[in-house]
Amino acid sequence: MGRCLPIAKRIEEREAQVLFSTYKEGYRYAQQEKLHVVKVPPIDFVVKPDGTVDFKQSLVNIGPFLSSFTLLKQVEAEIDIMKAFKPDVVVSDSRASPLIAARLLGIPHICILNQFQIIVPRRTRFLRLARLADAGTLAIIGKMWTSGKRVLIPDYPEPYTLSAGNLRIPKVYQKRVRLIGPIIPVRPDELPSQKQIRKKLGLDESKPVIFAPISGPVKERAYFTGALRKIFEDFPEDYQIVMSLGYPNGSTKPVRMGNVTVYKWMHNRFEHLKACDLVVARAGHGTLAQSICYGKPSVLIPTPSHTEQLNNARRAVELGITEMIVQDKLDKQKLLGAIQRLLKDKRFKDRIKQIQEEVMKLDGIETAVQNIMEATEWRN
């Protein structure tokens, strides 16, 4: 939803109609934003208390047959929706069912994604599953993602590509892939200065501001939110911390505890991103791309066993703009030390500013819209 919403708004400015299909948190978010939306059957993973995806229990509870059945239910629902809405083009953000439905109905379709292949963690107990996934799913998933004429990757071109470790794309599919730049709903140059925003938000100009936007499925982020909040509440008074817990239906009224301010939901996320000095977050692609666009170094704590996030974090470390902390090693000393190094070492600031200047030349939203509007002509 986060990537599709700004694209949809730009398309609607051209007097086109947009209908969303989604489920669970995405559906609630779409309702809150007063979007034209319909609900489809959800697909779930089992999550451990620490936020790790439990692959074993997911396979036991869902199973190959039931997961296939759920996918078929999604495809059936999408077909009914498309027959009623009669779209000129279907755009899917990392979901298979709309692409399958669109292909069956002969409707032009575009896929948006930043992970071409489903990557299973390389732990000893997962090696067989990982090898099967590598050997068997790449061809199937590759054909599915590229069943339309375009695959749009909302990432920076080389040498700044963040999801390089998640984009092992066979040559046969590469001609359909476009690196368009991240989807940034509000660009930093569209906002007032950092000083003006801090004054508006009531933030002290003399103290560093740490912004912690927590995102991802509720079950995956619950443990992380609690652990991070406890650490921040014990931080020195020299720092101002702002946490966003990411609950779309939550209160927008901030709760303050000493130097920590917590929002269940915030509408001005990008103001806080511009106001801050540093970001502490998971290693989701969207959050990391936004931090770079705003010129903010980051401390990343990837979700355990989440290979995409681990690859994103490692890539950001290679670029010299991030420090990574493994979740089971996260404590006050390690987090505070990483923050202090990022804020004091001029090399981090120089590097992030250098990359920011380059990537600001891209407009992922406009490029996506152009590709989508072109796709309406593919049927003819």
* CATH number of the domain where residue 57 is located: 3.40.50.2000
d(CA 281, CA 45): 22
Highest average pLDDT, of 142-146, 164-168, 210-214, comes from 210-214
d(CA 263, CA 285): 22
Shared-domain flag, residues 148 and 218 = no
The pLDDT of residue 64 is above 50: no
DSSP 8-state code for residue 238? T
> Is residue 242 domain-resident?
yes
pLDDT at 217: 77
> Is residue 139 domain-resident?
yes
> Is residue 163 domain-resident?
yes
Confidence of residue 369 (pLDDT cuts 50, 70, 90): very high
Q: What's the whole-number mean pLDDT along residues 333-355?
A: 96
Task: Report the domain count for the chain.
Answer: 2
> Is residue 146 domain-resident?
yes
The pLDDT of residue 232 is above 70: yes
Count of CB atoms situated within 10 Å of the CB of 69: 13
Which of 146-155, 161-170, 177-186, 350-359 is predicted least confidently?
Answer: 161-170
The pLDDT of residue 244 is above 90: yes
Shared-domain flag, residues 319 and 210 = yes
Shared-domain flag, residues 285 and 145 = no
d(CA 333, CA 268): 30
The pLDDT of residue 174 is above 50: yes
Shared-domain flag, residues 355 and 367 = no
First to last CA, the chain: 29
More confident residue, 149 or 380: 149
- Label the pairing between strands 209-213 and 240-244: parallel
Confidence of residue 53 (pLDDT cuts 50, 70, 90): low
Shared-domain flag, residues 225 and 283 = yes
More confident residue, 68 or 222: 222
Shared-domain flag, residues 156 and 192 = no
Which of 92-106, 169-183, 316-330, 348-362 is predicted least confidently?
Answer: 169-183
d(CA 332, CA 110): 44
Shared-domain flag, residues 97 and 202 = no
The pLDDT of residue 58 is above 60: no
> Is residue 341 domain-resident?
yes
> Is residue 86 domain-resident?
yes
Q: Which of 361, 204, 335 is nearest to 279 (CA)?
A: 335
Q: What's the whole-number mean pLDDT along residues 144-154?
A: 86
pLDDT at 119: 54
- The answer to whether 259 and 241 have CB atoms below 8 angstroms apart is yes
Tokens of 76: 């059936």
Confidence of residue 250 (pLDDT cuts 50, 70, 90): confident
More confident residue, 205 or 120: 205
> Is residue 380 domain-resident?
no
Shared-domain flag, residues 212 and 330 = yes
- How far lies 25's CA from each of 39, 157, 217, 335, in Å? 11, 31, 8, 30
Which of 11-15, 288-292, 304-308, 357-361 is predicted least confidently?
Answer: 304-308
DSSP 8-state code for residue 207? S
Shared-domain flag, residues 124 and 228 = no
Q: Which residues form the domain of 144?
A: 4-181+362-375
d(CA 121, CA 125): 9
The pLDDT of residue 352 is above 70: yes
pLDDT at 63: 43
Shared-domain flag, residues 124 and 177 = yes
Shared-domain flag, residues 37 and 120 = yes
> Is residue 305 domain-resident?
yes
Tokens of 282: 């998971």
pTM of the model: 0.86
Tokens of 259: 């130097």
What is the residue-averaged pLDDT of the chain? 87
Give me the residue label for tokens 């692959």: 55
Q: What's the whole-number mean pLDDT along residues 237-266?
A: 93
Shared-domain flag, residues 264 and 307 = yes
Q: What's the whole-number mean pLDDT along residues 34-56?
A: 71
Determine the Cα angle at 296 with ends 290 and 297, to 5°: 110
- How far lies 380's CA from each of 84, 106, 107, 241, 321, in Å? 21, 11, 11, 54, 46
pLDDT at 136: 44
Q: What's the whole-number mean pLDDT along residues 227-243?
A: 96
